[in-house]
Amino acid sequence: MLRCLLLAACGAAVAGQACGAAGAAPAASLTVSGWCGGAAFVSEEALLGSECLSSEMVPADAVCAAMNMRWWAAAKALLPRLASDGRPAVRSHAQAVKDGSAGLIGLVRRGGSDAGLLVRPAVSWAQSHEAVHVRVRFSPKKHGPVSASKIESPEVRVGAAAIGFSAHARSVNSGKRLDFRLELPLNASIDEESSTHALAPGRLTFRLAKAEPGQRWKALAASPGEGEAIEYGHVGAWFEEQERLDGEAKKRKAAREKSEAKAKEAAEAKGGEGEKPAPASPTPPSSRKEKKKRAKAAGAGAS
C-alpha cells in the first residue's frame, strides 16, 4: 500500500494521509495540541463546522496541519483568525509546499528521472596582441538558439595552461536538466592573474592575458596527448570578435603613426631654424643728442 510522505506541520501532531490509492487506510484526524481543546477532526467538513473557527485565535500549527492534510478550504477559513506572530511560519510553510509540489510536477513531466544530460559547450575564440578572447555558448552548437539562458551553480576555472567550466541548467525547450562541462587545455601559457571572465545570459566569456604578448597563437586548444580524454566540444573562430580586435589594432597603429609623424616634423622644424643673430642694442636718447650737438659744431667750424 502506497502512502504519501507529507511535509510535517509547523510543530503540530498530525497523522499522515494516504494518497487515495486502492486499499489505503482511512484518513487520519487533525489534532493540534493546545487548540480547540485538543479536538480531533476526522474530516475537513468537521473542522469547517467547528465553533473554534470563530471563537478562538488560530495558531500557525493549525493552518500548516490543514495544508498537510490538503484541506485547502479549511486552511483559508482559518487564516482570518490566525495570530499575527504566526504569519511568517505559515507563509514559509506554504512556500515550501508550493516549491516541493512544483518540483515534483516537473519531475513527473520529465518521465520521473532528473539525471542530467552531459553537454560540451561550443567554444569560439579570437586574439589580439595582448590577449586571447574566448566565448563559451550554453549550447553544443556554435550558432542558433542556446540550450539554456540561465545556469545554476557555475564553476569557472582559469589556470596557466587550461580553462574549465561546469554548471547545471534546464533546457529552454524540454525543461530537462543539462550538465555543462568543459575542460580545455590551452595551446600556450597565459597570465592567469591578469585574465578575467564574465557570465552573461546564454554565454561565458574569457579574456586570457598572454604570458608572452605579441605571440601569435595558431590554435586555442592544445593537441591531446596519447590516451588523453578530450573534454571539450566544437572549437572554432570567433569572426566578429576578431574583426573588432583587428579594427581596434589598426586604429591604434594609425594614431601612433600620426603622433610619431607630428613629433618628427616638430623636431625637424626646430633644428632648421639655427641660431639667429642677436638684435642691435638701441641707441640711448642721451647719445643721440650728443651726436646732434657734435654735428652742429662741426658744421659751424666749417663755415
Which pLDDT tens digit goes with each residue over 104-163? 776 666 555 556 789 999 999 999 999 999 999 999 988 888 888 788 889 999 999 999
Q: What's the pLDDT at 272?
A: 66
Q: What's the pLDDT at 4?
A: 36
Q: Please give the share of the chain, as a percent, with pLDDT higher than 90.
A: 35
Flag whether pLDDT at 192 surpasses 60: yes
pLDDT, one tens digit per residue, over 44-62 is 888 888 887 776 788 888 8
Q: What's the pLDDT at 21?
A: 33
User: Phi, psi at residue 19, to the nearest 5°?
Assistant: -75, 0
Flag whether pLDDT at 3 surpasses 50: no
| Burial of 131 per CB tally in 10 Å (0-12, 13-18, 19+) | buried
Residue bearing cell 508550493: 98
Contacts for 228-233: CB closer than 8 Å, 24+ residues apart: 231/120, 231/181, 231/182, 231/183, 231/184, 232/120, 232/123, 232/182, 232/183, 232/184, 233/120, 233/121, 233/122, 233/123, 233/140, 233/182
Q: What's the pLDDT at 283?
A: 59
pLDDT, one tens digit per residue, over 58-77 is 888 888 888 888 889 988 88
pLDDT, one tens digit per residue, over 21-31 is 333 333 467 77
> Average pLDDT for residues 234-249, to the nearest whole number?
95
Q: What's the pLDDT at 136?
A: 96
Query: Cα–Cα distance between 303 and 301 in angstroms, integer?
Result: 5
Of residues 297 and 196, the one with the higher pLDDT is 196
Q: What's the pLDDT at 163?
A: 96
pLDDT, one tens digit per residue, over 129-143 is 999 999 999 999 888
pTM over 0.85: no
Query: Cα–Cα distance between 233 and 151 in angstroms, integer?
Result: 19
Flag whether pLDDT at 214 surpasses 80: yes
Handedness of CA 135, 138, 140, 145 (dihedral sign): negative
Flag whether pLDDT at 184 surpasses 90: yes
Flag whether pLDDT at 290 surpasses 90: no
List Cα–Cα distances, 111 to 62, 105, 173, 266, 293, in angstroms.
35, 10, 15, 78, 127
- Selected from 3.40.50.970, 2.60.40.1080, 1.25.40.10, 2.60.40.790, the CATH number assigned to the domain covering 117-244 reads 2.60.40.790
> Average pLDDT for residues 80-93, to the nearest whole number?
86
pLDDT, one tens digit per residue, over 272-289 is 665 555 565 665 666 666
Q: What is the mean pLDDT of the chain?
A: 80
